[in-house]
Amino acid sequence: MMTREFSLQPALTHRKRLEDVCQMELAEAEIAYGQERPLVDLLSEMERLGYQELERQHERTQLDVTSINVYLYDLQRLQRKIEEQLRLLEDMEATVRRKREALMEASRDKKALERLKEKHEREVVQALSKAENKVLDEIASSQFHRLRLESRNSF
């Protein structure tokens, strides 16, 4: 006889929790990426403004080599920060991809177990229905035999 309990319920519960954890980790990774992304735009804007300022200063006055070197040093430092930030964003994008893949895998695993549970539940319902029909058939058969015996005894 088939048991009513789904034997893989602990595994399904674990898969649901794992999927929830993956969803939270993905959301955290996406939020972190979203917070870091504007910094590249800000640094790029600062670099653009720095070059504009260097041009303005050069047009207005004759800049000495020391002033030009200071501007260029600051702009190079800004470019390094931009490059570092872009590398960080690439790493974060890779993390988001990995988290998304982990979530998709966890969801697939959970759905497979859910399908097994649904199949199990259908089989349990069918088994119960079959058992109920068997009992009803036995009751009907015994009533038929009882009525038949009663009708024979009444003659």
Cβ within 8 Å of residue 57, ≥6 positions away:
63, 67, 71
Residue 140, Cβ density class (10 Å: 0-12 exposed, 13-18 middle, ≥19 buried): exposed
Q: How far apart are CA 40 and CA 90, in angstroms?
A: 12
Q: How far apart are CA 87 and CA 40, in angstroms?
A: 11
Max Cα-Cα span within the chain = 136
Q: How far apart are CA 75 and CA 83, in angstroms?
A: 12
Q: In the chain, what are the domain boundaries?
A: 9-112
Say how many C-beta atoms besides its own lie within 10 A of residue 15's C-beta: 20
Exposure string of 51-63, with b = 16+ CB inside 10 Å and e = fewer, is eeebeeeeeeeee
Q: Which two tokens stand for residue 45?
A: 């804007």
Per-residue pLDDT of the chain (155 residues; tens, 9 = 90+): 567 888 899 999 999 999 999 999 999 999 999 999 999 999 999 999 999 988 888 787 777 888 888 889 999 999 999 999 999 999 999 999 999 999 999 999 999 999 999 999 999 999 999 999 999 999 989 898 888 887 777 65
HSE on the CB side for 98, CA within 13 Å? 9
pLDDT at 80: 97
- Confidence (pTM): 0.72
